[in-house]
């Protein structure tokens, strides 16, 4: 039990990578808050884990809204009285070539993937500082590190996440808070299913390990960075991408 009695908020926990992370964290003894926009999937997942006797709570939130995030964090503290781990995992894509990208799609991706990470961390960090303990894990992407055709908006947010991670590691290291990022490669979720088949095949072919990522591959990296095994690691970007680029 690597996370016994730790309280973890997992944004975007209702589907995909976040869902796998909820299961991994619960199996390691954590009390998990699924903080997601998708009420139907979130409630279903909450019921599923509660039936297994796990300590799980679903809270509906739009990470892009500061008010919604503050409300979510207040509910977590009312229920659990502490927050040990924040996984800033919620994210969206609105892919298009640069010349075709609408301002609306540019703005929405920034609001969720960039401002959402800012909102959640800003709402949680004063509590972590007051306890002198915290683990914050942000989700970047291969797209943010290397760029990707059709992802001007998304790549910009995922590169920005790296900058925020390193900044917060410097700001909060002396307060006992570790801040790291995971940069997943192409991983089998709804996000990748939306891609043209031709592009998926190309991406798979350039991965050194010759396969797409499984959601558990990313969840295990979150687990390592949330556990005490990584207590001397901060400001790091952990690439979990099968060696797609080096
Ligand atoms: N690499 C190289 N060339 C690419 C490419 C890629 N990844 N994707 C598209 N192209 C090329 C096409 O082959 C095409 O070339 P030609 O003009 O020579 O025929 C040109 O770019 C235009 O492509 P489309 O005809 O597909 O143009 P479109 O306007 O219909 O669609 C697009 C453009 C929306 C970007 C579409 O190609 C697409 O969805 N591509 C995939 C984008 C992608 O990789 N998204 C990742 C989603 S998963 C995720 O985001 C998770 C993560 O963190 C990695
Ligand atoms: P997904 O689409 O399967 O799940 C994303 C979850 O985030 C959903 O449950 C969705 O409801 C939630 N969400 C979206 N907008 C929200 C909002 N405004 N407020 C609260 N919740 C919201 O996506 P996936 O693939 O699981 O992605 C998880 C994270 O991993 C994202 O940050 C994504 O950018 C990142 N990532 C994914 C990769 C992949 O190949 N799947 C690769 C690299 C990074």
Dihedral sign for Cα 65, 107, 161, 227, please.
positive
- Which CATH number is 221's domain given? 3.40.50.720
- Please report whether residue 178 resides in a domain: yes
Q: What is the ipTM of this complex?
A: 0.96
The answer to whether residue 246 scores a pLDDT higher than 90 is no
Q: CB under 8 Å, gap of 24 or more: what pairs does 94-99 form?
A: 94/153, 94/154, 95/150, 95/151, 95/154, 95/194, 95/195, 96/150, 97/149, 97/150, 98/152
Distance 96 CA to ligand 2 centre (A): 18
Per-residue pLDDT of 180-222, as tens digits, reads 999 999 999 999 999 999 999 999 999 999 999 999 999 999 9
Cβ neighbours of 118 (radius 10 Å) = 17
**Nearest atom (ligand 2) to Cα of 139:** 32
**Nearest atom (ligand 1) to Cα of 203:** 7
Cβ(139) – ligand 2 distance below 6 Å: yes
Mean confidence (pLDDT) of the chain: 98
Ligand 1 pocket residues where CB is under 6 Å? 93, 95-97, 100, 141-143, 148-151, 154, 186, 191-192, 195-196, 199
- Give the residue numbers marked as catalytic: 154
- The range of the structural domain enclosing residue 227 comes to 7-240
Q: pTM for the full model? A: 0.98
- Please report whether residue 155 resides in a domain: yes
- Please report whether residue 215 resides in a domain: yes
CA-CA distance, 135 to 242, in Å (whole number)? 25
The answer to whether residue 41 scores a pLDDT higher than 90 is yes
CA-CA distance, 149 to 119, in Å (whole number)? 28
Per-residue pLDDT of 47-84, as tens digits, reads 999 999 999 999 999 999 999 999 999 999 999 999 99
Query: Crossing angle of helices 39-51/16-27, nearest 10°?
Result: 20
Q: Which residue, judged by its Cα, is nearest atom 34 of ligand 1?
A: 96
Alpha carbon 108 to chain centroid, angstroms: 17
Which of 92, 144, 219 has most ligand 2 atoms within 8 Å of CB, for mutation?
92
- Please report whether residue 208 resides in a domain: yes
Average pLDDT over residues 22-35: 98
CA-CA distance, 232 to 166, in Å (whole number)? 14
- Please report whether residue 245 resides in a domain: no
CA-CA distance, 50 to 65, in Å (whole number)? 28
CA-CA distance, 95 to 228, in Å (whole number)? 37
Distance 186 CA to ligand 1 centre (A): 14
- Please report whether residue 29 resides in a domain: yes
Note the ligand closest to the C-alpha atom of 184: 2
Number of folded domains in the chain? Answer: 1
The helix/strand/coil state of 34 is: strand
- Please report whether residue 167 resides in a domain: yes
CA-CA distance, 205 to 199, in Å (whole number)? 10
Distance 11 CA to ligand 2 centre (A): 9
- Please report whether residue 1 resides in a domain: no
């Amino acid at each position: 039990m690597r996370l016994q009695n730790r309280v973890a908020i997992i944004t975007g926990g209702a589907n995909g990578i976040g869902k796998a992370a909820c299961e991994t964290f619960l199996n390691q003894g954590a009390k998990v808050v699924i903080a997601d926009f998708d009420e139907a999937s979130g409630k279903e997942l909450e019921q599923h884990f509660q039936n297994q006797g796990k300590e799980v709570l679903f809270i509906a939130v739009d990470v892009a809204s500061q008010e919604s995030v503050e409300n979510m964090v207040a509910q977590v503290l009312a229920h659990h009285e502490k927050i040990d781990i924040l996984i800033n995992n919620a994210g969206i894509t609105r892919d298009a070539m640069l010349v075709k990208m609408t301002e609306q799609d540019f703005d929405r991706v920034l609001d969720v993937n960039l401002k959402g990470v800012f909102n959640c961390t800003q709402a949680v960090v004063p509590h972590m500082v007051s306890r002198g303990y915290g683990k914050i894990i942000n989700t970047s992407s291969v797209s943010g590190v290397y760029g990707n055709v059709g992802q001007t908006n998304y790549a910009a947010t995922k590169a920005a996440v790296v900058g925020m991670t390193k900044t917060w590691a410097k700001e909060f290291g002396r307060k006992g808070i570790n801040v790291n990022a995971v940069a997943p490669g192409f991983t089998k979720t709804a996000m990748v299913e939306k891609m043209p088949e031709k592009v998926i095949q190309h991406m798979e072919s350039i991965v050194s390990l010759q396969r797409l990522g499984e959601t558990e591959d990313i969840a295990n990296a979150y687990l390592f960075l949330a556990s005490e095994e990584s207590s001397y690691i901060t400001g790091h970007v952990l690439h979990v991408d099968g060696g797609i680029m080096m």
